[in-house]
Amino acid sequence: MARKAPAPTPATIVWFRSDLRLSDNAALTAAIERGCGIVPVFIYDTEAAGRWAPGGASRWWLHHSLAALARDLERLGSRLVLRRGTASDVLPAIARETGASLAVCSRRYEPWAIAQEQSVRDRFAADGVDFKRYPGGLLMEPERMATGAGEPYKVYTPFWRALSQRHVASRPLSRPSHLSQPSIWPPSEDLSTWRLLPQRPNWAQGFAPAWQPGEAGALDRLDRFLESAVSSYAEDRNRPDLEATSRLSPHLAHGEISPRLVWWRVAGLRGRDGAAAGSDKGLETFLKELVWREFSAHLLFHFPKLPDEPFRPEFARFPWRPDAHNLEVWQRGKTGYPIVDAGMRQLWATGWMHNRVRMIVASFLIKDLLIPWQQGEAWFWDTLVDADLANNAASWQWVAGSGADAAPYFRVFNPTTQGEKFDPQGRYVRAWVAELTDREGGDVHQPLPGKAPPDIFIRHRDGAYPPPIVDHAQARECALAAFQSLKKSGAD
């Protein structure tokens, strides 16, 4: 009589999601403390995410981040199990394959991810497998942040005050030195078969020189920022011609570093002697930017329609003028406004754009071209390596004037004066707009005379820089008139 295979000993599934790190990972720490074999798993579940599945640039980052996480796990004597499919089907299957009696994960806050978690919980309950979620993606869980009236915050400044007063800069959880193996390893798919990287043409060839995805890259980026740029952050963060920002956003978006660890490191510099001495203003300004990310997640959690619908309902009546040609001109960086085109070309080449320039290009699309903010949001989602649903939606609505605590609609950025103010020597523009390298100093921001013809792409194949697609002064008047019509229709 053939002997039966021994039953697997209990194991714990650690479901990695947007927490692709080993340090300060509460779910992983809880699994280790349980003392069973650990099965690290990542599931590529595009069905659950739907239209908010990772865009092209995020897929590039995800590929390299997963490869880095797999290498880090191998150094601990473990491995990363990769599966494609619906999480509520894949996770129970892995539990059966390994004999796991518990699965843990970090929380996510997108509407689709919340529904995904509930579906997984229901399936596990039917199979008798425990399922536990842990915080880690935010400084403060959204349910814990409420106004005195018990309502969600809708204005950033009181949100910042409340969080900065209530958040305790606790020491991050340690990185493990070893992970116990399960008695049975489930099969894993090959990352290369997921085809997350662009094929032909390879539009991401400029990404690798600019980025180091993975936890080690995140920690190195934080170290360099704190050593060289944080002391002048308050003064220089709006200058795209300087290396004055942290560029941590893609690492935070993919969970390669926790906001708690970032806060802990920054808070530890306050009041100390050394490179950051006397830089409290810079440190606080940076923490406020970290909390803007938190505020965006808070809004999305409490108002799940934020990525699709205007937060302020009256903006549903706004008289937009969708135009496929103008949208493409903007996307390709051919508007004739140098700071706008530099930003759009930087985005395409590196998967990232300086935050001040993001505001400028967004204002241009929304208010100079009167194209709906959702179309800009969709383009950023596909082209940004730091694409984050909450940040993206909240920021586009802020510029549009339709969001929570939004900039007033009548605040229309002048792309020429913005360029002159924040790129005074024109270095940023010349770095990204090759046609203008022979124009000196701040003169590079002056658009060429005339207006670009409709067949702009045909006429400028020779590399000549085009004149403006619209006259900004006239476009501003049209935008303000549209806003006034919205106010009038609301009154009626």
Could you give the CA distance from residue 137 to residue 139 in angstroms, rounded to a whole number? 7
Distance CA 11, CA 37 (A): 5
Helix 338-350 vs helix 415-422: crossing angle, to nearest 10:
70
Judge whether 373 counts as a catalytic residue.
Answer: yes
- Per-residue H/E/C for 359-395: HHHHHHHHHHCCCCHHHHHHHHHHHCCCCCHHHHHHH
- Which strand ranges, in their side-by-side order, compose the sheet holding 130-134? 81-84, 37-44, 11-16, 100-106, 130-134
- Taking CB atoms within 8 Å and a gap of at least 24, the contacts of 445-452 are 445/338, 445/339, 445/416, 445/419, 445/420, 446/416, 447/336, 447/337, 447/338, 447/416, 448/336, 452/329, 452/334, 452/335, 452/336
Residue 67: its H or E element: helix 56-75
Start-end of H helices in 100-189 = 111-127, 156-166
Residue type, 418: Q
The C-alpha atoms of residue 360 and residue 339 are separated, in whole angstroms, by: 8
Using CA atoms, how far apart are residues 135 and 29, in angstroms rounded to an integer?
12
Catalytic residue among 289, 309, 414, 435: 289
User: How far apart (Å, rounded) are the C-alpha atoms in residues 412 and 471?
Assistant: 13
Catalytic residue selected from 203, 320, 414, 435: 320
Tokens of 157: 């400044």
User: How far is residue 91's CA from residue 98's CA, in Å, rounded to a whole number?
Assistant: 11
* Active-site entry in 348, 381, 396, 398: 396
User: Is the N-terminal amide bond of 158 cis, ω within 30° of 0?
Assistant: no
Q: Of 15, 160, 211, 373, which is the active-site residue? A: 373
Q: Pick the catalytic residue: 52, 112, 292, 398?
A: 292
Q: Can 320 be counted among the known catalytic residues?
A: yes
**Lookup: tokens for 10:** 């209990």
Q: Which two tokens stand for residue 393?
A: 């939606």
Enumerate the H helices of 128-174 as residue ranges: 156-166
Burial 190-227 (b: 16+ CB within 10 A, else e): ebeeeebbeeeeebbeebeeebebbbebbbebbeebbe
The catalytic position among 97, 284, 355, 414 is 355
**Catalytic (active site) residue 289:** yes
Q: Give the residue numbers annotated as catalytic, written as ranges.
A: 289, 292, 320, 355, 373, 396
